[in-house]
C-alpha cells in the first residue's frame, strides 16, 4: 500500500535532541549520551508516521526507543509525536537503517528490533533493495543481546515467506514464534498505520518473532553471504 499524504507539520515544535541527523549520532555509539540514561534499547526500522514509536515509548517508559526513517518528512512527523507527549525515552533518526546497523551499532546492545511493513519492492529484480537482506539480518543478529528479539510484520505473503527462509538459512535466530492478532480497543489501537489500514480492509497481516539464542558466538556480517 502506498503512504497517504502527511498533514502539515508544525514548525513551532522544538525537536532538538529528539530528531537526529546522521551526524548527530555518536560514534562510537553512546546510548547514555543520546538518552541521558542507561536502559534497554529497542530500535524500529522504518518508523513511517510514528504510531508504534509513540505508543511503545508511552507504554514502556523503562526502555529507550530509537526510530529510523529514511524519508525526512516522516522522520519529523515521528519526532513531533514524541515531542507532543513529552516522551523523553524516544529518539528519531532521519537516515538509513542499514548504515546504522552496519557502521554504528556495536555487538549485543539492542534488546528488540522492530521491522513493520517494510517496502516490499515488488519486482523480482528489485528484491535486493529490501531492507531484510542477508547482510542486514546478520547485523541484526550481531547487535541483539542474547535473548533479544526481532519482530517482523508484513502484509505481503511472499515477502514474509522469503524472509523466514532467509533467517533460517543465514542466522542462528530461533523462530518463527507466532504472534497473535488482538482486537483493537479504539481506532488507533494498532501496531502501525499500515496494520490499521490492512486490517480495516479485511486483508491478512503476517506476523512473527525471532529470538537470539542466550549463548553462542557473535555473528558478523562478513561471515554471512549476501542474500
The secondary structure of residue 124, as a DSSP letter, is G
Which residue numbers are catalytic? 119
The secondary structure of residue 164, as a DSSP letter, is H
Burial of 63 (0-12, 13-18, 19+ CB in 10 A): middle
State how far the Cα of 67 lies from the Cα of 79, in Å rounded to an integer. Answer: 9
Where are the extended beta strands (E) located within the chain?
19-20, 41-45, 64-69, 90-94, 110-116, 144-154, 174-178, 206-211
Amino acid at each position: 500500500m502506498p503512504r497517504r499524504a502527511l498533514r502539515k507539520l508544525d514548525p513551532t515544535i522544538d525537536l532538538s535532541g529528539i530528531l537526529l541527523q546522521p551526524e548527530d549520532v555518536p560514534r562510537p555509539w553512546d546510548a547514555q549520551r543520546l538518552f541521558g540514561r542507561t536502559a534497554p534499547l529497542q530500535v524500529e526500522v522504518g518508523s513511517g508516521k510514528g504510531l508504534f514509536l509513540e505508543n511503545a515509548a508511552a507504554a514502556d517508559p523503562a526502555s529507550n526507543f530509537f526510530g529510523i526513517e529514511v524519508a525526512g518528512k516522516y522522520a519529523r512527523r515521528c519526532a513531533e509525536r514524541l515531542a507532543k507527549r513529552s516522551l523523553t525515552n524516544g529518539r528519531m533518526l532521519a537516515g538509513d537503517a542499514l548504515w546504522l546497523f552496519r557502521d554504528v551499532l556495536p555487538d549485543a546492545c539492542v534488546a528488540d528490533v522492530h521491522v513493520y511493513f517494510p517496502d516490499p519492492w515488488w519486482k523480482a529484480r528489485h528484491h535486493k533493495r529490501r531492507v531484510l537482506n542477508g547482510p542486514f539480518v546478520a547485523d541484526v543478529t550481531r547487535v541483539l543481546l542474547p535473548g533479544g528479539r526481532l519482530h517482523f510484520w508484513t502484509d505481503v505473503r511472499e515477502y514474509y515467506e522469503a524472509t523466514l527462509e532467509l533467517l533460517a538459512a543465514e542466522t542462528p535466530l530461533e523462530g518463527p514464534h507466532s504472534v497473535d492478532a488482538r482486537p483493537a480497543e479504539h481506532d488507533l489501537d494498532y501496531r502501525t498505520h499500515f496494520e490499521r489500514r490492512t486490517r480495516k480492509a479485511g486483508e491478512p497481516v503476517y506476523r512473527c518473532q525471532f529470538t537470539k539464542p542466550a549463548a553462542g558466538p557473535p555473528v558478523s556480517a562478513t561471515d554471512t553471504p549476501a542474500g
